[in-house]
Structure 1
């Protein structure tokens, strides 16, 4: 009996990765109820990793007091692994753009302080190996919020403490590391990062991502100058150059800041999660692999789950089918990636809202229709 691995990302604004797994599985079972199905809701290291950990039963979620991007008190969760030493913190839980109304989005005013409070809670509760997933941020503060939540201080020319947020990056004259929490000394901080954007420049944090977070053109310029200034201050204090780190521009410069303040490692999120899930071995054991995401376009080839999974499928000579809300990628891009076939569940005449609302049934039916001859 064929063994099938289902390993999709979420369909944003429509289905979680777990729901995508279930829809695909139900579609397969209408073809043959005896198929061996391995469901693995996946993530590229941004939002959604909790689902993977819970599917694998690796530990449990832990709630703690935190702040949203504008400093309002909230409760936010992170994931503690069974070893009691490793924790996964998802930046979007406390510093995510989804926590704000449209009118509140402004990276001049937002901060990663709440994520820093989560790190503090995890470190003070014995977790020494911290993995930080940084997708979906509302911020452009270069991790200054995290730094101050962990006891660091941003100082102005009069050595007064400055609040950490985007608009203050350019006024930082000094950094105080003296009061960082002691648990940091024995901790290993790793940032899960799948983009290659640098902190500054035409593909940098401010230019590419700040407009999506509510920044005006003038604010983009200010954030760029502020990040450049802070980078100089960090280099003077620590000797670390944060402007040349591939991926440093991710999450409003959070990746660059984590390296600059704490000498954190940056690792591809997909690779980190693949190791935790023993993904390559699952691919080897499968006869057919099915993946999915909300929209597949030519940008998907740069680190998105279906294309990273396709690399493994191609390596082990396994067929891989991709189901997506829409498929806008060139066929040669799909073929080169090792994707056997890419299928859109939304037709050209179908309204987008209808497709989002009915995504589960559309996906289930598409799987049953397109794979019946393969199984």
Structure 2
């Protein structure tokens, strides 16, 4: 019997690899000789670097870079097992975890550190870079990232702009002459489900700015600055990114990547499915187990378990797809109605406080896997 175990992380408790390992232990207690393929997964958000690095037997790289508030931070990215691909979560260098209510300021926050990670990955010889765009502290349209890879953003006096979205209104011209030559020979893939444009009522500043400390006045100023930034990009580079779907992701980093690296945007789960070789590993599967901390009706909108289930039903349509979760959320029947997830089970072994449940998640996942395996064994005997 072949089991494919392809969970996301259980946020705050287990990485995707740890969850897969714990589930496998439970299965082995019943099916000692089963073929088990563990494929750590993610959907392009937090945990994508760890999941893809684990799934491909890659390695993690840690570097000191410029954080969103122009201080040095330690940021980690992944080099995948193929030796040609890097995966970077922009939040590692430019994330909201580096700010608080007292320090948050989207007028000055920069993505410069994300650009430094891009250059470091290229220094390692990669040919493609996958970028996850969740959890940003920034609203600079990717200007800092652009400066880090060699783009000159100049004012009327030919001076480089300072960091942050508050400076973009001063942009007079863009000079690409010092951009690292290797950028154009590197493929960039944005892992993001965000479809917001750069500006407007659904843009980066209006929708995400308040989460990063922007007042109404700041939102208006930042949106106007990003509009000006987009106009200069269109004039100097002949690239219209202002209303492009996803250009507003991560405070407009999506726009900067589209403009300055030629990046393409794909759904995060689709990228992870491809780079983990999930489909080939699903061949001849008898049971597929996925999951994450919580599943509800929203899971069908691009979350990891749904992406795994779609792949499973395509490659191994007769294999049941089972979801393991810490919590079953609202309107779960809508997920069953899709026809791709066959059953969902919650892992807590008893009613307990959240902190205790999270602390027990490893042993509870193992116990749940063992119980499901015992049920399968008993049914096989009938």
- Asked whether the two chains share a fold, i.e. TM above 0.5, the reply is yes
Counterpart CA distance in 1 for 2:355 and 2:288 is 28
Q: Is 1:137 matched with 2:139?
A: no
1:208 alignment partner in structure 2: 207
> Are the equivalent residues in 2 in contact too, given 1:195–1:302 (CA < 8 A)?
no
2:380 alignment partner in structure 1: none
1:358 alignment partner in structure 2: 360
Output aligned runs, 1:318-333, within 5 Å. 318-333=319-334
> Are the equivalent residues in 2 in contact too, given 1:199–1:205 (CA < 8 A)?
yes
> Are the equivalent residues in 1 in contact too, given 2:49–2:88 (CA < 8 A)?
no
> Are the equivalent residues in 1 in contact too, given 2:320–2:342 (CA < 8 A)?
yes
1:105 alignment partner in structure 2: 104
Q: Is 1:120 matched with 2:122?
A: no
* Counterparts in 2 of 1:215 and 1:77: CA distance versus 1, 3 Å: same
* Counterparts in 2 of 1:84 and 1:13: CA distance versus 1, 3 Å: closer
Q: After superposition, give the CA deviation of every residue in 1:20-42 in whole Å (9 maximum; x if it has no partner).
A: 11222233234433332211111
> Are the equivalent residues in 2 in contact too, given 1:234–1:261 (CA < 8 A)?
no
Deviation at 1:349, TM superposition (A): 5.9
Counterpart CA distance in 2 for 1:349 and 1:229 is 55
RMSD, matched Cα:
2.6
1:96 alignment partner in structure 2: 95
Deviation at 1:16, TM superposition (A): 1.3
Q: More displaced, 101-110 or 160-169?
A: 101-110
Counterpart CA distance in 2 for 1:24 and 1:308 is 19
1:229 alignment partner in structure 2: 228
* Counterparts in 2 of 1:366 and 1:107: CA distance versus 1, 3 Å: farther
Output aligned runs, 1:292-303, within 5 Å. 292-303=291-302
* Counterparts in 2 of 1:313 and 1:203: CA distance versus 1, 3 Å: farther
1:52 alignment partner in structure 2: 51
1:341 alignment partner in structure 2: 343
Counterpart CA distance in 2 for 1:335 and 1:126 is 44
User: What residue ranges of structure 2 are gaps of 5+ in the alignment?
Assistant: 378-382
> Are the equivalent residues in 1 in contact too, given 2:15–2:51 (CA < 8 A)?
no
> Are the equivalent residues in 1 in contact too, given 2:194–2:249 (CA < 8 A)?
yes
> Are the equivalent residues in 1 in contact too, given 2:2–2:34 (CA < 8 A)?
yes
TM (norm. structure 2) is: 0.88
Counterpart CA distance in 2 for 1:260 and 1:130 is 16
Q: More displaced, 300-309 or 88-97?
A: 88-97
* Counterparts in 2 of 1:202 and 1:313: CA distance versus 1, 3 Å: farther
1:186 alignment partner in structure 2: 185
Counterpart CA distance in 1 for 2:257 and 2:144 is 11
Counterpart CA distance in 2 for 1:325 and 1:102 is 30
Aligned residue for 1:190, secondary structure, equals strand
Q: Is 1:173 matched with 2:172?
A: yes
> Are the equivalent residues in 2 in contact too, given 1:21–1:39 (CA < 8 A)?
yes
Q: After superposition, give the CA deviation of every residue in 1:41-92 in whole Å (9 maximum; x if it has no partner).
A: 1111233233334434544333333122212123433333465543222212
> Are the equivalent residues in 2 in contact too, given 1:124–1:183 (CA < 8 A)?
no
> Are the equivalent residues in 1 in contact too, given 2:197–2:246 (CA < 8 A)?
yes
> Are the equivalent residues in 1 in contact too, given 2:52–2:272 (CA < 8 A)?
no
> Are the equivalent residues in 2 in contact too, given 1:154–1:164 (CA < 8 A)?
no
Q: More displaced, 330-339 or 254-263?
A: 330-339
* Counterparts in 2 of 1:356 and 1:167: CA distance versus 1, 3 Å: farther
> Are the equivalent residues in 2 in contact too, given 1:148–1:164 (CA < 8 A)?
no
> Are the equivalent residues in 1 in contact too, given 2:152–2:176 (CA < 8 A)?
yes
* Counterparts in 2 of 1:150 and 1:18: CA distance versus 1, 3 Å: same
Q: More displaced, 34-43 or 211-220?
A: 211-220
Q: After superposition, give the CA deviation of every residue in 1:244-302 in whole Å (9 maximum; x if it has no partner).
A: 32222222221122112232222233222222221112223211111111222333222
Deviation at 1:368, TM superposition (A): 3.2
> Are the equivalent residues in 2 in contact too, given 1:65–1:117 (CA < 8 A)?
no
Aligned residue for 1:141, secondary structure, equals coil
Deviation at 1:174, TM superposition (A): 2.4
2:195 alignment partner in structure 1: 196
Deviation at 1:231, TM superposition (A): 1.6
Deviation at 1:242, TM superposition (A): 1.1
TM (norm. structure 1) is: 0.89
1:281 alignment partner in structure 2: 280
